[in-house]
Amino acid sequence: MLTRLKKRFQLWIASDAKLAHNIGFTPNHVSATGMLFAIFSGLAYWNWQFHQIISIMAPILLLVSGFCDALDGAIARIYAQTSTFGGFFDSLLDRYADGFVLCGIILGGLCHPFWGLAALMGSLLVSYVRARAESEGIGMESVGLTERAERLLILVIASFLSFVWLEALSWGIVALAVLANLTVLQRVIHFYRASHHKK
């Protein structure tokens, strides 16, 4: 759903992309930087309850990671640095980033382990289903309720809400688990229908 807005956002951050490029950053460098911020975010979620500053930094670091996810695409587009490996590398690091953040939330005791694991599996499968379907020539972009941008937004909003409502992040993980796995189902149905039309 937010994939189209992400493309518009990449246009808005063209100046940031030019600055990053002039410094010497390639899309792969930015992708790797985004994953590092996700790792730090996951560690902050893991240690959420030890200090208020840590709990504030967790969603902020996650937002920076999401910004990098948009910035690498903007650099690749503006400077014609797209490549098959770049797309593969970016997708791989996104999966690691999702895993680190959700594992941090689970290990930090910020949600019920069942819902945390369900959210983790759903998030990974959303991307797997897309990759598998597109390898068969069936597009999946914008199919389903929660692509990566929506999932990050749910976590960030729930994290900030938790400062005034302690259970917000826990319920955010429940929502993420339900919506991510529903998205998997939507994509399976889309693939089933599209593959039958191709016959």
Domains and CATH numbers, the chain: 3-198 (1.20.120.1760)
- Catalytic residues, by residue number, are 94
pLDDT tens digits for range 126-140? 999 999 999 889 988
Q: Dihedral through CA 160, CA 69, CA 179, CA 173, nearest 10?
A: -40
Integer Cα distance of 198 and 69 in angstroms: 33
Predicted TM-score of the model (pTM): 0.90
Contact status, residue 143 vs residue 1, Cβ threshold 8 Å: no
By 3-state DSSP, what share of the chain in percent is helix, strand and coil, each rounded to 5? 80, 0, 20
Contact status, residue 2 vs residue 149, Cβ threshold 8 Å: yes
Integer Cα distance of 64 and 85 in angstroms: 23
Q: How confident is the model at residue 1 (pLDDT cuts 50, 70, 90)?
A: low
pLDDT tens digits for range 52-98? 889 999 999 999 999 998 899 889 888 888 888 988 999 999 999 99
